[in-house]
């Protein structure tokens, strides 16, 4: 039903923010194609309309501040300066 | 009397102290270290908690049957002050400040946590061979897998390290390892146990559940865990009372999918329960593909937060995009990356209707078909897995691994309670699975108890 | 030949709640960087969003005031993209089943029709430097209502008048303080 070639894998890898190293590309593509071939079983189902909203209602929360000021971040963040998280520059490539 | 109840009696009578139990547990963990069931042990914390439990007991405080009992927690559930790894390199250094709600409830009941158990990375797998810290071995035969993804918890219980452990079940990850290791595994109704503090894999499918030496002990833990939680807006499913024994249905499509050796085990179990009528679940053949589509889609979304920005192992690069890509590519194992790719694929424009929407449709069909069945029968029975524990390294093909989940997936897709009860035999154990309608966990457990007694 | 501009607006209002959309952190403006955060709005593993009841009340109040149809069942969706000030790698919004549809905002002698009104969460703030970017997540998770108009505005002047009217309405209703300087009222235009 769907063709899975290295171009498709490359595009999906970009969406997924994952590298697919050149050396692994063929193996990963073949594996991916096999998985997609298997899930193609679903093609036997007819086209479906948009799903209805889920039936079980979510429990809501009352609007009261429960979290004290402070941060859970500092204990685990890789790079923080003056309380702000630091990351490499957002360069458009 | 179950293992936990027996320990409770010995603790109450003073025959044994919590310190004794914890020491024995830690010794046993050490003696069975080759199983690789634990990612980390916490001897200091456990001994301190045991001392506190003994102290409370001496002062007349009784928190219930779990008071002072050693317990192990799957390493995708937060235990305050201990690292949560999800068996992944990408979470290196992540230490939660608060317990997961399920863990907090066990702690309030006096349970003593001896450590975090090994799992397939981010709970994605059916054998616990996809851990960054090596596979878990089956206590009954160390050349074989313990099942997955809660392999560490199942092995810890089967090896006698702890009488109960927490696991998580998304497509069978509590039930199947329990079956492979010869112990009991319960998947509660979706929405009945809080998922707050469980690292999400597939939110609409994940459920926290106990693995235990026996049905009574599993039920004890369920009663402590279940109930609404302000930290989980979806934990709104209440559990009904145990119903009188009723009619049991045997799903023919699931029964037909197992080899003769398994079929005779299933027949024995059915006979022990007084018989079952054959019933049909026509959409069975869509269940596993639908599950892998939906679970992967949700996983791709739930794992998007692992980017090295706010926590975990960060791979330094010059640009943000490169940093995120490198962090994820080096931090996630092969199976996790496979699922993230699959999830992005089935959600992408041009494929969403073909896969994701059809996956949802298949799920709706299964739910309706189960509803129809539960008007005719009260419970359903099948095997838990179409096989016993297979050798480590013998199943490298992902699709072959995915297919083997076919018996546990339907209940997960429909949010139904399901328990695996071990059937002892001459060789490796098989598991028999009992399922019920949403909310009927206590009825499912009552039937499981009857089966356990009849087979024991 | 002359052209008549056809303008549609997307307005984001920060709701006047005490807490964020999905957690009990304060939604107040300002504060030391990352001090109004918790595992939920930081996108820590294991944290779950729990919707703010008052946000639903305020969104409903606004919808009713604008004559929109309030949906008895609405749901949250995830809008996925990767950016450092979006902690979960997705924004929780309402794409398929918004809380309200239709309605109109009176501007002058016209009633500018609305397409929809929905709830969503705000992102944090990034500050870009030459070699690094810093992120403050205090604003991440603040409740927003997004108002989408039909492409029915005919001039920049009318669009400005529309914004003023929306600001008047939300302030009067106590739904938002409509403060453009502090970012509690923002606007994107499609021309």
Q: What is the pLDDT of residues B118-161, one digit of tens each?
A: 999 999 999 999 999 999 999 999 999 999 999 999 999 999 99
Reported residue count of chain C is: 191
Q: Are residues B47 and B151 in the same domain?
A: yes
Q: Are residues B87 and B182 in the same domain?
A: yes
Q: Are residues B387 and B335 in the same domain?
A: no
pLDDT in tens, chain B (456 residues): 899 999 999 999 999 999 999 999 999 999 999 999 999 999 999 999 999 999 999 999 999 999 999 999 999 999 999 999 999 999 999 999 999 999 999 999 999 999 999 999 999 999 999 999 999 999 999 999 999 999 999 999 999 999 999 999 999 999 999 999 999 999 999 999 999 999 999 999 999 999 999 999 999 999 999 999 999 999 999 999 999 889 999 999 999 999 999 999 999 999 999 999 999 999 999 999 999 999 999 999 999 999 999 999 999 999 999 999 999 999 999 999 999 999 999 999 989 888 999 999 999 999 999 999 999 999 999 999 999 999 999 999 999 999 999 999 999 999 999 999 999 878 999 999 999 999 999 999 999 999 999 997
Residue C93: per-residue pLDDT = 98
Closest CA in chain A for residue B350: A2
Asked if B360's CB is within 8 angstroms of A61's CB, the reply is no
Q: Are residues B29 and B147 in the same domain?
A: yes
A interface residues, C as partner, C-beta within 8 Å: 17, 50, 53-54, 58-67, 69-73, 80-90
Answer whether residue C1 is part of any domain.
Answer: no
Tell me the C-alpha distance between B74 and A79, whole Å. 29
Give me the residues of A, 38-67, that contact B with CB < 8 A. 38-45, 47-48, 50-51, 56-61
Rounding to the nearest 10 degrees, give the CA dihedral for residues B76, B79, B82, B88. 10
Sequential DSSP letters for B352-394: IIIIIIHHHHHHHHHHHHHHHHHHH-SEEEEESSSSSPPBTTS
Smallest Cβ–Cβ distance between C50 and the set A61, A86, A87 belongs to: A61
Residue A2: per-residue pLDDT = 65
Instruction: Give C18's contacts in chain A (Cβ within 8 Å).
Output: 63-65
Helix (H, G, I), strand (E, B) or coil at B398: helix
Residue B123: per-residue pLDDT = 98
Answer whether residue C3 is part of any domain.
Answer: no
- Rounded to two decimals, the pTM is 0.97
Instruction: Give B404's contacts in chain A (Cβ within 8 Å).
Output: none
Asked if C39's CB is within 8 angstroms of A89's CB, the reply is no
Distance from CA of C67 to the nearest CA of A (A): 23
Tell me the C-alpha distance between A52 and C97, whole Å. 9
Asked whether the predicted pLDDT for residue A1 surpasses 70, the reply is: no
Asked whether the predicted pLDDT for residue A51 surpasses 70, the reply is: no
Answer whether residue C87 is part of any domain.
Answer: yes
Instruction: Give C130's contacts in chain A (Cβ within 8 Å).
Output: 89
Asked if C126's CB is within 8 angstroms of A90's CB, the reply is yes
Distance from CA of C183 to the nearest CA of A (A): 20
Asked if B305's CB is within 8 angstroms of C46's CB, the reply is no
- Does residue C15 contact residue C175 with C-beta atoms inside 8 Å? yes
Reported residue count of chain B is: 456
Q: Are residues B104 and B217 in the same domain?
A: yes
* Mean model confidence pLDDT for chain C: 95
Question: Taking Cα atoms as reference points, which of C86, C71, C178, C171 lies closest to residue C123?
Answer: C86
Tell me the C-alpha distance between B337 and B238, whole Å. 36
Distance from CA of A62 to the nearest CA of C (A): 6
Smallest Cβ–Cβ distance between B355 and the set A42, A59, A76 belongs to: A42
B173 is catalytic: yes
B interface residues, C as partner, C-beta within 8 Å: 77-78, 84, 86, 91, 94, 96, 98, 100, 195-200, 230-234, 301, 304-307, 309-311, 320, 324
Asked if C39's CB is within 8 angstroms of A61's CB, the reply is no
- Does residue B147 contact residue B177 with C-beta atoms inside 8 Å? yes
- Domain boundaries, position B329: 289-353
How many domains in chain B? 2
Neighbors of chain B by Cβ distance (3+ pairs < 8 Å): A, C
Rounding to the nearest 10 degrees, give the CA dihedral for residues B33, B35, B41, B46. -90
The pLDDT confidence band at residue A92, using thresholds 50, 70 and 90, is low
Instruction: Give A33's contacts in chain B (Cβ within 8 Å).
Output: none
Asked whether the predicted pLDDT for residue A52 surpasses 80, the reply is: no
Q: Are residues B295 and B160 in the same domain?
A: no
Q: Are residues B34 and B168 in the same domain?
A: yes
Instruction: Give A79's contacts in chain B (Cβ within 8 Å).
Output: 314
Answer whether residue B224 is part of any domain.
Answer: yes
Q: Are residues B243 and B303 in the same domain?
A: no
Return the half-sphere exposure (C-beta side, CA atoms, 13 A cut-off) of residue B396.
2
Q: What are phi and psi of B26, to 5 degrees?
A: -65, -40
Asked whether the predicted pLDDT for residue A26 surpasses 70, the reply is: yes
Q: Are residues B217 and B154 in the same domain?
A: yes
- Does residue C140 contact residue C23 with C-beta atoms inside 8 Å? no
Instruction: Write the DSSP symbol of residue B77.
Output: B
Neighbors of chain A by Cβ distance (3+ pairs < 8 Å): B, C
Number of CB pairs, chain A paired with chain C, less than 8 A apart? 109
Answer whether residue B268 is part of any domain.
Answer: no
Answer whether residue C127 is part of any domain.
Answer: yes
Asked whether the predicted pLDDT for residue A93 surpasses 60, the reply is: no
Instruction: Give B231's contacts in chain C (Cβ within 8 Å).
Output: 48, 50
Answer whether residue B278 is part of any domain.
Answer: no
Q: Are residues B240 and B317 in the same domain?
A: no
Tell me the C-alpha distance between B275 and C5, whole Å. 75
Angle at B412 between CA B74 and CA B173, to 5 degrees: 30
How many domains in chain C? 1
Answer whether residue B265 is part of any domain.
Answer: no
Neighbors of chain C by Cβ distance (3+ pairs < 8 Å): A, B
Smallest Cβ–Cβ distance between B323 and the set A61, A76, A87 belongs to: A87
Answer whether residue C112 is part of any domain.
Answer: yes
CA C130 vs. chain centroid, Å, equals 30
Q: Does C151 touch chain B (CB under 8 A)?
A: no
Instruction: Give B311's contacts in chain C (Cβ within 8 Å).
Output: 44
Closest CA in chain A for residue B204: A54
Q: Does C89 touch chain B (CB under 8 A)?
A: yes
Closest CA in chain C for residue A67: C25
Smallest Cβ–Cβ distance between A38 and the set B237, B289, B365 belongs to: B289
C61 burial (CB, 10 Å; 0-12 / 13-18 / 19+) is: middle
Answer whether residue C65 is part of any domain.
Answer: yes
Q: Does C1 touch chain B (CB under 8 A)?
A: no
Which of the pair, A92 or C121, is modelled with greater confidence? C121
* Mutation site, C45, C52, C53, interface B, largest B CB count within 10 A: C45
User: From the candidates B88, B153, B168, B173, which is the catalytic residue?
Assistant: B173
Answer whether residue C93 is part of any domain.
Answer: yes
Asked if C35's CB is within 8 angstroms of A83's CB, the reply is yes
* Mutation site, B94, B206, B310, interface C, largest C CB count within 10 A: B310
- Report CA-CA distances (Å) from C122 to C42, C86, C87, C98: 12, 9, 11, 16
pLDDT digits 0-9 by tens, C27-85: 999 899 999 999 999 999 999 999 999 999 999 999 999 999 999 999 999 999 999 99
Asked if A59's CB is within 8 angstroms of C132's CB, the reply is no
Smallest Cβ–Cβ distance between C84 and the set A81, A82, A87 belongs to: A87
Asked if C135's CB is within 8 angstroms of B304's CB, the reply is no
Asked if B309's CB is within 8 angstroms of C46's CB, the reply is no
Tell me the C-alpha distance between B130 and B111, whole Å. 29
B426 is catalytic: no
Closest CA in chain A for residue C96: A53
B329 is catalytic: no
With a CB cutoff of 8 Å and minimum separation 6, the contacts of C65 are C169, C173
- Domain boundaries, position C99: 8-190
């Amino acid at each position: 039903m769907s063709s899975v070639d290295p171009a498709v894998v490359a595009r999906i890898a970009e969406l997924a923010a994952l590298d697919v190293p050149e050396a692994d590309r063929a193996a990963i593509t073949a594996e991916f194609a096999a998985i997609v071939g298997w899930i193609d079983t679903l093609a036997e189902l007819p086209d479906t309309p948009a799903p209805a909203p889920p039936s079980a209602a979510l429990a809501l929360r009352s609007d009261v501040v429960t979290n004290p000021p402070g941060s859970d971040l500092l204990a685990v963040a890789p790079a923080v300066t003056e309380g702000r998280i630091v990351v490499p520059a957002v360069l458009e490539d | 009397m179950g293992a936990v109840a027996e320990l409770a009696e010995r603790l109450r009578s003073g025959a044994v102290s919590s310190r004794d139990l914890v020491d024995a547990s830690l010794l046993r963990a050490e003696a069975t270290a080759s199983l690789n069931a634990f990612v980390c042990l916490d001897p200091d914390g456990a001994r301190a908690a045991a001392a506190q439990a003994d102290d409370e007991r001496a002062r007349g405080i009784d928190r219930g049957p779990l008071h002072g009992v050693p317990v192990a927690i799957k390493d995708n559930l937060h235990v305050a002050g201990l690292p949560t790894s999800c068996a992944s390199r990408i979470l290196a250094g992540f230490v939660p400040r608060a317990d997961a709600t399920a863990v907090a409830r066990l702690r309030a009941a006096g349970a003593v946590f001896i450590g975090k158990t090994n799992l397939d990375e981010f709970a994605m797998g059916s054998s616990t061979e996809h851990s960054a810290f090596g596979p878990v071995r089956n206590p009954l035969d160390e050349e074989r897998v313990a099942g997955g993804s809660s392999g560490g918890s199942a092995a810890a219980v089967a090896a006698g390290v702890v009488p109960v452990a927490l696991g998580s079940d998304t497509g069978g990850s509590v039930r199947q390892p329990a079956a492979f290791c010869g112990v009991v595994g319960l998947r509660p109704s979706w929405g009945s146990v809080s998922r707050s503090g469980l690292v999400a894999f597939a939110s609409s499918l994940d459920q926290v559940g106990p693995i235990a030496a026996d049905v009574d002990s599993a039920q004890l833990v369920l009663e402590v865990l279940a109930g609404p939680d302000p930290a989980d807006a979806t934990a709104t499913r209440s559990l009904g009372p145990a119903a009188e024994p009723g009619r049991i249905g045997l799903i023919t499509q699931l029964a037909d999918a197992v080899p003769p050796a398994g079929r005779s085990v299933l027949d024995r179990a059915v006979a022990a329960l007084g018989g079952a009528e054959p019933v049909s679940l026509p959409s069975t053949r869509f269940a596993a593909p639908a599950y892998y589509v939906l679970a992967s889609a949700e996983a791709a979304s739930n794992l998007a937060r692992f980017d090295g920005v706010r926590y975990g192992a960060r791979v330094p690069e010059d640009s943000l995009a490169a940093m995120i890509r490198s962090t994820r590519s080096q931090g996630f194992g092969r199976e996790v990356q496979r699922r993230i790719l699959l999830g992005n694929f089935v959600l992408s424009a041009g494929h969403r209707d073909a896969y994701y929407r059809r996956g949802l449709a298949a799920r709706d069909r299964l739910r309706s078909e189960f509803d129809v069945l539960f008007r005719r029968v009260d419970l359903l029975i099948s095997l838990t897995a179409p096989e016993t524990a297979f050798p480590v390294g013998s199943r490298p093909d992902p699709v072959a691994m995915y297919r083997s989940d076919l018996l546990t997936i339907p209940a997960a897709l429909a949010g139904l309670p399901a328990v695996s009860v071990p059937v002892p035999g001459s060789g490796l154990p098989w598991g028999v699975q009992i399922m019920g309608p949403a909310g009927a966990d206590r009825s499912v457990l009552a039937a499981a108890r009857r089966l356990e007694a009849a087979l024991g | 030949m002359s052209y008549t501009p056809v303008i549609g607006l997307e307005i984001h209002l920060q709701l006047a709640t005490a807490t964020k959309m999905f957690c009990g952190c304060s939604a107040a403006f300002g504060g030391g960087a990352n001090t109004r955060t918790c595992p939920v709005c930081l996108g820590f593993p294991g944290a779950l969003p729990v919707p703010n009841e008052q946000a639903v009340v305020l969104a409903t109040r606004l919808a009713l005031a604008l004559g929109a149809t309030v949906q008895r069942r609405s749901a949250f969706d995830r809008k996925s993209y990767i950016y450092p000030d979006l902690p979960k790698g997705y924004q929780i919004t309402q794409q398929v089943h918004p809380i309200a549809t239709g309605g109109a905002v009176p501007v002058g002698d016209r009633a500018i029709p609305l397409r929809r009104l929905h709830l969503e969460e705000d992102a944090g703030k990034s500050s870009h430097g030459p070699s690094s970017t810093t992120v403050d997540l205090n604003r991440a998770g603040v409740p927003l209502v997004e108002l989408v108009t039909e492409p029915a505005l005919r001039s920049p002047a009318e669009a400005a008048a529309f914004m003023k009217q929306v600001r008047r309405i939300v302030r009067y209703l106590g739904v938002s303080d409509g403060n453009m300087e502090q970012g509690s009222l923002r606007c994107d235009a499609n021309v």
